[in-house]
Amino acid sequence: DTEVTQTPKHLVMGMTNKKSLKCEQHMGHRAMYWYKQKAKKPPELMFVYSYEKLSINESVPSRFSPECPNSSLLNLHLHALQPEDSALYLCASSQGIRGAEAFFGQGTRLTVV
């Protein structure tokens, strides 16, 4: 199984809502990532978990809260988002911990209204 599965595929939320994005991998990878991607831009790293511990937070606003319940799962909790947070949110995993040779999920297309 070489897949990274993300749910939901699409999400529309209001600025006062709380929602969560979910990601799952069964490749035994040691690192999992959240990326944000705006249209026509490269993926932008948000968070890195290595061995289930948060190792990198790229100065992401606190309205984004990551969680790694176990080595296969990664969540991103969203609260009080702004319209400019609308983007494609990608989860990825890799055996190494520096983002190389990562497998990406299909992403969640988030729209904040």
Partner 1 sequence: QQPVQSPQAVILREGEDAVINCSSSKALYSVHWYRQKHGEAPIFLMILLKGGEQKGHDKISASFNEKKQQSSLYLTASQLSYSGTYFCGTLPHAGNMLTFGGGTRLMVKP
Which residues form the interface with partner 1 (CB under 8 A)? Answer: 4, 40-43, 45, 48, 56, 90, 98-107
Q: Which is nearer to partner 1, 65 or 106 (CB)?
A: 106
Q: Cβ of residue 96: shortest distance to partner 1, in angstroms?
A: 9
For tokens 């289930």, name the residue.
Answer: 52
| C-alpha span between 38 and 42 (Å, rounded) | 7
Q: Cβ of residue 98: shortest distance to partner 1, in angstroms?
A: 5
Q: Is 13 exposed, middle or buried (0-12, 13-18, 19+ CB in 10 A)?
A: middle
Q: Which of 40, 25, 50, 38 is nearest to 105 (CA)?
A: 25
Q: Which is nearer to partner 1, 75 or 106 (CB)?
A: 106
Q: Which is nearer to partner 1, 56 or 73 (CB)?
A: 56
